[in-house]
Structure 1
């Protein structure tokens, strides 16, 4: 049943959920978005996770997004879903994910409560054991785990990966040196391109990329440069793209999502950047114009057709 404990390596796609002006999921726009990610050769699709505004989706919408993703992907890349928050809802959505035959799910932190290490273990293990699907535990916010907890979780056959959204390198070194290939390691830091050079030597082989929703070819060029130790290219992309965008991202709460939608709208994808769900708000006009300027210059210097995906 558990053929491998590995998860996809490389750049992982986390599509947003586009909403129309009536606040409903825009199905055609979502199909276009997933096709764009597939055409960009991203290694997996993680549907209805943080970037997809999981926090605001009802169960019907959740099923719709999985169904749309399955119909577009057609087994070309692995599909993972997001589950978490309210544990009963998480278990229900794990069952839905199994019914749709996805490859696995990312278990996001529990709703609101800061539990003990035993409580965090019980939360992740209960969800992971609920189906035979692969499970990736998300280390962040109110689900920060110590070595003992991660080691216990790694003994569960379904738990195949650990996604770090904290950035404590002491902890990451301890985990990877102790557990090693017992898990796959994913960089889930906000705008992971910023920190990926520090993660690769530890054995982190993949990351969730916000900018791959709108400039995936530049993220690919950057990642290839990292693997080749091409420091000049890394430096240029840092200065031209990654750091300027990250400076905008830090300007507002919720920008981790709304900035993605703005970038997608700017490059011509069918996303209305104003259509986000509370508590997320659209980015400010001045930040939108700043992002537009960055992307215009970036696309001139790094045209999509000139970069091998």
Structure 2
């Protein structure tokens, strides 16, 4: 294994894809989103991922977003793209990521397939080996791995991390106990802060944060409190901020993306509310509820105090 290879750790930034009134990508808004995440201390940028509506982007849009992410970060933090679904297209996106200077990619599951372990192994082996970039596997949907399959894939030095979006803690413990420090373990469940205490104890010390797009100081305060075992502050943040937002997120399918855009609008990062079908924008009633939650949260936890 190349000892220089390292997966991003800590709180990972997943920008949204802002669309203008004509449905085109708002380049300036995307650059501001990436810059905001970097300035607030997030350890990596994952562009064109789930929160970036990967499923709805065409090739030109994908290339544009990778260009913006790479040029905006200026090597301050690693930039990861997303690939997955159709294997031929994924190989092409991996090549694009390499050519444009990305550090690696997050591999989503194959499209509409419930595969055997050997099929999963061959799919991910092909994508991991397609370039020399770092690769992180996203375990979610039907892409659920046995320890044996992950051990076999771990023979490839490009494979640096596993992001879990399943929530099977028995499997996660088996994986971390079997492979230990060979991989970085990333919590990829919806609203990562909610489940992070359970993950942290099993060796998952990184996670993707949706709320970091609009209240990153609260995400950081929560994670630092968790790491130093400050249960009182963790519980307080659950009660006053995290559970209210999560309960609102669960009101409609797809709010895991559109609620991020609403939160950004509320705090003064205007990116519009447009999402592409089949996602739906946040309803007015829910927007107003989020506005109230964030107003109270910022009164209790101002940016200057949390920092």
TM-score range, shorter chain: over 0.9
TM-score under structure 2 length normalisation: 0.98
Distance in 2, Cα, partners of 1:305 & 1:71: 29
Does structure 1 residue 243 correspond to structure 2 residue 234?
A: no
Partner of 1:218: 218
Q: Is the 8 A contact 1:80 1:104 kept in 2?
A: yes
SS of 1:110's partner is coil
Q: Deviations over 1:249-285 (max 9, x none)?
A: 1111111111111111111102112x10011111222
Alignment of 1:94-113 (within 5 A): 94-113=94-113
SS of 1:161's partner is strand
Q: Aligned-pair RMSD on alpha carbons?
A: 1.1
Structure 1 runs of 4+ with >2 Å offset: 1-6
Distance in 2, Cα, partners of 1:205 & 1:80: 18
SS of 2:201's partner is helix
Partner of 1:125: 125
Shift of 1:5: 4.0
SS of 2:222's partner is helix
TM-score under structure 1 length normalisation: 0.97
Partner of 1:296: 295
Shift of 1:4: 3.2
Partner of 1:157: 157
Q: Which runs of 5 or more residues in structure 1 are unaligned?
A: none
Distance in 2, Cα, partners of 1:93 & 1:144: 23
Shift of 1:9: 1.2
Shift of 1:2: 3.3
Alignment of 1:55-66 (within 5 A): 55-66=55-66
Partner of 1:186: 186
Partner of 1:206: 206
Does structure 1 residue 227 correspond to structure 2 residue 227?
A: yes
Distance in 2, Cα, partners of 1:5 & 1:237: 35
Partner of 1:269: 269
Distance in 1, Cα, partners of 2:85 & 2:277: 17
Q: Which runs of 5 or more residues in structure 2 are unaligned?
A: none
SS of 2:109's partner is strand
Alignment of 1:1-12 (within 5 A): 2-12=2-12
Distance in 2, Cα, partners of 1:272 & 1:221: 27
